[in-house]
Amino acid sequence: MQILESNQGIKPNQGIKAQAAVQAKRLLFVGPKPPPIGGSPLTVQAMLEELALYPSIQVTVINTSPAMDVRKKMTGFNFEKIRRSILILPQFIRKIGQCDAVLVFANDLFAITLAPLLLFLARLFRKPFYLKPVGAGLDLFINAQKKPLREYLLFVLRSTDGILTQTRLLKEDLFKLGCTKVHYLPGCRPLSIVNLVQKQYTPELRAIFLGHITRLKGPLVLLDALKIVSEISDEKVTCDFYGPIHDEIHDEFLEELKSIPNARYCGVAEAGTGPQLISQYDVLILPTYYDTEGHPGVLIEAMHAGVPVITRHQRLSGSNSRQLLSG
């Protein structure tokens, strides 16, 4: 109705222009949707839910989520990634002409292999191309490459219409590398309604680890810290672990768990239950030492639940359990 009213007294050609001005923009969104449950897929889901609130934006999604079991080794080249690339390209070519802009989620390997080709196709169709790196270590990845490949990667990044970084640190570091069209877009999760339950007083501190149980997320560091606490303090600290156990740590984690009576494995939490689950504990612990860690979604969920967090970051500190205790 407002559009019709605004067109009164406007010449026909002006009315057409006014209508065109309010037509929805079409965004081609390339990224991993759940499943599997993890940081990037959940961030993609959160962004898609937010974009759905804006009628002026129509989103077309190309899902790049891996089909393989999340517990399997995902780094390096494998046939699954080749298969996904073969499927992504024809979808991209078919859909890009119908869209006004492109947003691509890319981990380091994607940024070096498929993203440049998608950027080239976007340029052929004269569509703006935006890149959102997964995590916060793209600068480290670039600097670790030999000069020819490093210069190639920087050329690709400088050719985009914008880079959306999870952290201000990555934004600053990419700017120093000559990437001037960088914008800070922190990690996000939909605000959850948490039904707070009256916690019964217990003498122990009840902690939770919630996330993928993989070596670099630090579960073994946490188990070591729990063991040290039991040896040097009369205070009782218990910890429940939730999350899929990756193959590369499976046997070692379960073996260590047996020797620590104040820790237990509770299985995989259901998707979307993070804040409510965390609210039942006194503290969330995430001793991650991924040097590419950005804004872990579980920390945002802990904020939603009003639960304090103990964590650390490899780029800012060392990596042993005694430093975790002092954190």
Task: Give yes or no: residues 39 and 170 share one domain.
Answer: yes
Q: Which domain holds residue 66?
A: 22-184
Residue 237 phi, psi dihedral angles, 5° rounding: -125, 125
DSSP 3-state percent helix, strand, coil across the chain (nearest 5): 40, 15, 40
Measure the CA–CA gap between 283 and 280, rounded to whole angstroms: 9
Residue 215 and residue 179 share a domain = no
Q: Rounded CA gap, 42 and 61, in Å?
A: 14
180 and 211 inside one domain:
no
For residues 84-96, one letter each, b for 16 or more C-beta atoms within 10 angstroms of the residue's C-beta and e for the rest, the string is beeebeebbeebb
For residue 117, give the CATH number of its domain.
3.40.50.11930
CATH of the domain at 250: 3.40.50.2000
Report the 10 Å Cβ neighbour count for 119. Answer: 20
pLDDT 10s per residue in the chain (327 long)?
332 333 334 344 554 444 444 578 999 999 998 877 777 888 899 999 999 999 999 999 999 887 655 655 555 555 666 677 778 999 999 999 999 999 999 888 888 888 999 999 999 999 999 999 988 889 999 999 999 999 999 999 999 999 999 999 999 999 999 999 999 998 888 887 888 766 667 788 999 999 999 999 999 999 999 999 998 988 899 999 999 999 999 999 999 999 999 999 999 998 788 999 999 999 999 999 887 888 888 999 999 999 999 987 555 433 343 334 333
pTM: 0.80
User: Do both 172 and 26 map to the same domain?
Assistant: yes
Identify which of 187, 144, 161, 194 has the alpha carbon closest to the alpha carbon of residue 305: 194
Structural domain ending residue among the three candidates 184, 217, 244: 184
Q: Is residue 3 assigned to a domain?
A: no
Q: How many domains does the chain have?
A: 2
